[in-house]
């Protein structure tokens, strides 16, 4: 019996892999239930786990450098619309996305997938010269955040960390930066401080309209299997992919089954209505896995990674994943 450690947040779409409902013959999966803030540094610095959740952006960077310790499988365990993740200082004079040009904008890490997506959206949808923005990095609400991989940016780009002990939240309030891109709400915004507002006041409506134009549901994280493990048994990649896909199918079935009960198991009073609205927008499978179903989105991501000077070259989608897995 082959034992594989699997570092992944305890998402509903992976639960069946670890509660015994989905099995891989001859393989025992040992779940390490940690979130990406802990798993990413350990995966990208020392390839600690046999199978791990990966930042899509950092994986592209490593693939382009020939340094990827993991071969990815197109099980996209984390996806998220990000229009609500752009915060502004209310007095910064930023009324539209285009007004971000030439400004000082904070982000926890320049290479993070959220940044890759939002810069792509700002550039493609709003004509923003994202490479002309002065990017400043720091933790959103806690100091000490660092780039997990070394950047290789051209000298004309202005990307640098804020000072020791700095946070994006404090820098925004002090006027040192004009905006923040962050998956975590700045503390001031979360507290209702009127000095901090969102670029898109109705981010749900903005994201839905954008999805209808593009068909994209932003891929944030994917799963990877350590190459030295895969070299010993190349069949593991398609078998793992099939197992993750089946676990996701069961998670969708669990939602549908829950809605058929007379009382809901979740504390969401409008769960049924939200689920119906989600399917109306995204289709009967709102969380698609595989390459074929996500090809246009993956092509956009590969293009942005190169134009934003993260990937050394423009990658082809097939290079990103293990061979023979997840369709073409």
DSSP structural state of residue 153: -
Return the half-sphere exposure (C-beta side, CA atoms, 13 A cut-off) of residue 15. 10
| DSSP per-residue string spanning 58-97 | HHHHHHHHT--SEEEEEEEEEE---GGGEEEETTS---SG
pLDDT tens digits for range 223-246: 999 999 999 999 999 999 999 999
Can you name the CATH fold of 2-80+218-320? D-Maltodextrin-Binding Protein; domain 2 (3.40.190)
Kindly state the helix (H) or strand (E) to which residue 221 belongs, with its residue range: strand 219-226
For residues 287 and 13, is the Cβ–Cβ distance under 8 A? Answer: yes
The highest-level CATH class for domain 83-214 is alpha beta
CA dist 189 → 85, 193, 198, 276, 321 (Å): 11, 5, 9, 30, 38
Contact in structure between 304 and 60 (CB atoms under 8 Å):
no
Q: Which residues, including other chains, have CB under 8 Å from residue 81's CB and lie 6 or more apart? A: 203, 204, 207, 210, 211, 217, 218
Q: According to CATH, where is 3.40.190.10 located in the chain?
A: 2-80+218-320, 83-214
Q: What is the pLDDT of residues 28-53, one digit of tens each?
A: 999 999 999 899 999 998 999 999 99
Mean pLDDT by 10 residues, the chain (328 residues): 96 96 96 93 93 98 97 98 98 98 98 98 98 98 94 97 96 98 98 98 98 98 97 96 98 94 89 96 97 97 98 97 84
Q: How many CA atoms lie within 13 A of 210 on its CB side?
A: 23
pLDDT of residue 327: 74
Under DSSP, the state recorded for 141 is: S
pLDDT of residue 328: 66
Q: Which residue has the tokens 């293009």?
A: 303
- Write down the pLDDT at residue 315: 98
CA distance 32 to 49: 9
């Amino acid at each position: 019996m082959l034992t594989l450690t699997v570092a992944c947040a305890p998402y509903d779409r992976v639960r069946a892999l670890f509660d015994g409902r989905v099995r891989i013959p001859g393989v025992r999966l040992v779940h390490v239930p940690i979130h990406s803030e802990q798993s990413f540094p350990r995966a990208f610095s020392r390839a600690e786990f046999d199978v791990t959740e990966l930042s899509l952006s950092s994986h592209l960077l490593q693939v382009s450098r020939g340094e990827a310790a993991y071969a990815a499988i197109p099980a996209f365990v984390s996806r998220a619309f990000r229009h609500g993740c752009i915060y502004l200082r209310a007095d910064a004079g930023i009324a539209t996305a285009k007004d971000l040009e030439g400004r000082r904008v904070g982000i926890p890490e320049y290479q993070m997938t959220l940044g890759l997506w939002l810069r792509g959206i700002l550039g493609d949808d709003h004509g923003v010269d994202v490479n002309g923005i002065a990017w400043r990095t720091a933790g959103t609400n806690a100091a000490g955040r660092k780039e997990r991989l070394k950047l290789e940016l051209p000298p004309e780009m202005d990307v640098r960390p804020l000072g020791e002990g700095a946070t994006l939240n404090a820098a925004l309030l002090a006027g040192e930066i004009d905006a923040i891109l962050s998956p975590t709400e700045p503390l001031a915004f979360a507290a209702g401080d009127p000095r901090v507002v969102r670029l898109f006041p109705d981010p749900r409506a903005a994201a839905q309209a954008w999805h209808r134009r593009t068909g994209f549901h932003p891929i944030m994280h994917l799963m990877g299997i350590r190459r030295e493990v895969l070299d010993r048994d190349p069949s593991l990649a398609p078998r793992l992919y099939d197992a993750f896909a089946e676990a996701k199918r069961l998670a969708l079935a669990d939602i549908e089954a829950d809605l058929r009960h007379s009382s809901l198991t979740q504390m969401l009073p409008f769960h049924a209505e939200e689920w119906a609205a989600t399917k109306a927008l995204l289709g009967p499978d709102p969380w698609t896995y595989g390459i074929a179903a996500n090809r246009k989105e993956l092509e956009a991501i590969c293009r942005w990674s190169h134009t934003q000077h993260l990937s050394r070259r423009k990658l082809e989608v097939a290079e990103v994943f293990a061979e023979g897995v997840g369709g073409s």
